[in-house]
A and B are shown apart, each in its own frame.
Chain A
Amino acid sequence: MRTRLVPLFTLLFLLISSPLVAAQTPAPATPPALCVATPAAETAASPLPPPSPYQGEGSFPLVITDDLGREVRIERPPTRIVSIAPSNTEVLYALGLADRVVGVDSYSNYPPEAAEKPQVGEYIAPDLERIVAAEPDLILATAAHRETVLPELETLRLPTVVIEPLNLDEVFASIELVGEITGESARAREVVCSLQTRVNAVEAAVAGAPSTRVFFELSPDLFTTGPGSFIDDLITRAGGANIAAGVGEMWPQLSAEAVVTADPEVIILADHEAGITPEQVVARPGWQGISAVAQRRIVPIVSDLVARPGPRVVEGLEAIAAALHPDRFPEADS
């Protein structure tokens, strides 16, 4: 009986919200909730207003403003793209631009075929020589590169765009920006639309449920994520109450006492790949009284799903939501 309510709620929510979605992302003739691809001819016939908040003209050459406020001029759709951050690589592949990618950083491992591309060094300080050797006409960087390779790339006059989304909405905006820069706006809108649909489904599914107290463990010495951070945004949308919400910093380190006092109902382990298992958490002295430990609601999560601000964060959101409200996601596996 309960299982039938979930799709019903979702459908109702979508029908109600589709005008709202349409207002945000001006759509072609087909309703955005169905996320149908726009044939190129239609796009040419009815020129679409550019997606907000970037003021691109939608045709080349165009000038865009990246996430560091830099104005970058793109002469023509790039055909040789180098990505020096794994999140940007995932965005490029999601937009179907695999054959235009000529260089990736050594952490770009998703999708697996991205790792086969020529490597240009590691993420924070990539190898300038190999970037130039790849002869790129576009480089996708992040804010972390601001002090490292960005000044030199600008000196060498290589078009570089910095992508640094700080929350879920900005992730969608950045996917649309990359679509605009590469001349794949329609595809980008499709991708964002389907991701937004999944996000709406999650938010609908957890709507009305009492928020679950959660401790999001980033490391065994109890580093977690605080208000204003990316992961905190996901937790809130998934219907959770981050026990670090009262702490003023973005990446606070909690004491064991603080965790025990806050008594989270769920513990999410983002350090599982570093070797931390639920059994180890249960064995921590003094932790037995915590609700999450007593009820064995300790859930490992693939850290890349929440660490990389790309299309897969929606998977991360779904995983968090399933951990926080398993009763609302009966079809999700453990």
Chain B
Amino acid sequence: MTNALPRPISGALSPGTTQRVNATLPIIVAAASVVLAARVALTIGKAPLPPALAGDMLLSWLGLPARHWPESAETILLQIRLPRIVLAGVVGAALATAGATYQGVFRNPLADPYLLGVASGASLGAVLAFILPIPRDLLRIGVVQTFAFLGGIAAVIAVYLLGRVGGSVPTTMLLLAGVAISAAASAATAYLMYIRGDQLLVIYSWLLGGFNVASWQEVRLVTPLVLLSIAVMVLGGRVLNVLQFGEEQAATLGIPVEPVKLALIAAATLATAAAVSAGGLIGFVGLIVPHATRLLIGPDYRRLVLTTALVGASFLIVVDAAARGLPGPSDIPIGVITAAVGAPFFLVLLRQQKRAVFW
């Protein structure tokens, strides 16, 4: 079976060419970039840590002689910085993969993980958690994260129920339902923020997104969900390729379109809801990372999904390190940096699309 495919409707930026790339090389390179990004990110932060601390700790763990380090430095590195880096990687992978999947399912290069209302639903859930008098000891895990997660899922379920027609979910209906539910959830969120203005600062700080209170517990909760979802989406790579021809064509080729769409959307939603509950609303990752990856390795979804996950992980690790390391009294909100990087990239993308389609 040849690796070459006709150019799909969405995503390819070099019209008329096909890409023959060694299947596993991009994945290995992407994985290496994640490790490299994490290693560099370990050294970045505003707390003064002894140089080569990680090296010393590794030597000591191996039983070799090494310099001593203060306990506070170990706590900072292992209990604060490392889980933060891991969480940023997991969230980046989740958002990027979900974005790639949505772009494939909806055959639309402008699709991002928040398309079906996850963001608005999660915001509403988080705000409810902030203002309702829920005892914090009720759940062993964070109340806000749980409510945000459930809110995101609930929004997409509402969109699905609203958008389905008989046994199928026409794409147009789904998108329109997404707009409607997003608007309703945003309005409710705004109203709640208005009547509880005393919580405004805290809520807004959460919405802006960031990993400054990442912990190993959060990592343990979020990672399995994200890994499961990414696995489903990676397995759907071949089907996504076929879907690019159109749903009818895919059906005539024997693909059970509706169940597959449902499974992929569900997986992408799960990953996005988990990502938002852990990191707040971080934009642009799900939109631009899939495009950047396509530029590098081409539009074949069998490779694209997994590579996008890895590229998304290293991207957000780097962005989080920048948020931590850039000068200022506190961390810069991650959403600001992703927007600063994403918006120009997106403008360039748009120009290229115009040239490709309209010349």
Contact = CB atoms under 8 A, between A and B. Distances in A.
Interface of A: 106, 119, 121-122, 124-130, 132-133, 135, 144, 146-149, 151-152, 155-156, 223, 249-251, 253
A164 B45 CA distance: 30
Given A122-B329, A144-B202, A148-B205, A129 B213 contact: no
B131 to A, nearest CB: 11
B284 interface: no
B108 interface: no
A106 B46 CA distance: 14
Contacts of A148: 202, 205-206, 212-213
Contacts of A155: 79, 215, 217
Most chain A CB within 10 A, of B79, B81, B129, is at B79
Interface stretch (B193-201, B220-228, B257-265, B335-343): B193-201
14 contacts: A121-B46, A121-B329, A127-B46, A129-B46, A129-B76, A129-B81, A132-B47, A132-B72, A135-B70, A135-B72, A144-B202, A152-B215, A156-B79, A251-B197
| Top 6 closest pairs, chain A to chain B, by CB | A129-B47, A106-B329, A251-B197, A122-B330, A133-B47, A121-B330
A124 B213 CA distance: 12
* Central interface residue in A127, A147, A151, A156, by most chain B CB within 10 Å: A147
B72 A147 contact: no
B236 interface: no
B198 A149 contact: no
B205 A125 contact: yes
A156 B81 CA distance: 13
B213 A149 contact: yes
Contacts of B72: 132-133, 135
B82 to A, nearest CB: 11
A133 to B, nearest CB: 4
A152 B329 contact: no
A249 B76 CA distance: 42
B75 interface: yes
Interface residues of B, number: 36
A206 B266 CA distance: 65
Interface in B114-159: 129-130, 136, 142-144
A121 B330 CA distance: 5
Nearest to B49: A133
Interface of B: 45-49, 70, 72-73, 75-76, 79-81, 129-130, 136, 142-144, 194-195, 197-198, 201-202, 205-206, 210, 212-213, 215, 217, 324, 329-331
Contacts of B144: 147
Nearest to A107: B329
A130 B217 CA distance: 21
Given A129-B324, A148-B212, 15 more contacts: A121-B330, A121-B331, A125-B212, A126-B330, A127-B212, A127-B331, A128-B213, A130-B47, A133-B47, A133-B49, A133-B72, A147-B130, A147-B206, A152-B80, A156-B75
Contacts of A129: 45-47, 76, 80-81, 324
A124 B80 contact: no
Nearest to A136: B72
B202 A124 contact: yes
B265 to A, nearest CB: 30
Contacts of A223: 197
B144 to A, nearest CB: 5
B249 to A, nearest CB: 49
A144 B206 CA distance: 12
Nearest to B73: A133
Contact of B80 (A132, A147, A251): A132
Contacts of B197: 223, 249-251
A106 B213 contact: no
Contacts of A132: 47, 72, 75-76, 79-80
Contacts of B202: 124, 144, 147-148
Contacts of B210: 125
Nearest to A134: B72
Contacts of B206: 147-148
Contacts of A130: 46-47
A127 B195 contact: no
Nearest to A250: B198
A155 B142 CA distance: 12
B201 A128 contact: no
Most buried by B among A132, A135, A250: A132
A223 B206 CA distance: 23
Nearest to B195: A249
Contact of A127 (B47, B75, B129): B47
A133 B46 CA distance: 10
A122 B12 CA distance: 44
Nearest to A143: B202
Contact of B330 (A106, A144, A156, A251): A106
A223 B200 CA distance: 13
Given A106-B329, A147-B130, A128 B142 contact: no
A117 to B, nearest CB: 13
Given A132-B47, A147-B202, A125 B76 contact: no
Given A125-B210, A128-B212, A147-B144, A251 B198 contact: yes
A126 B215 CA distance: 15
A151 B214 CA distance: 10
Given A127-B330, A146-B136, A151-B215, A133 B76 contact: yes
Nearest to A249: B195
Given A133-B47, A148-B205, A151-B142, A128 B80 contact: yes
A163 B175 CA distance: 47
A133 B48 contact: yes
B213 A144 contact: no
Contacts of A135: 70, 72
Nearest to A149: B213
B227 to A, nearest CB: 23
A124 B76 contact: no
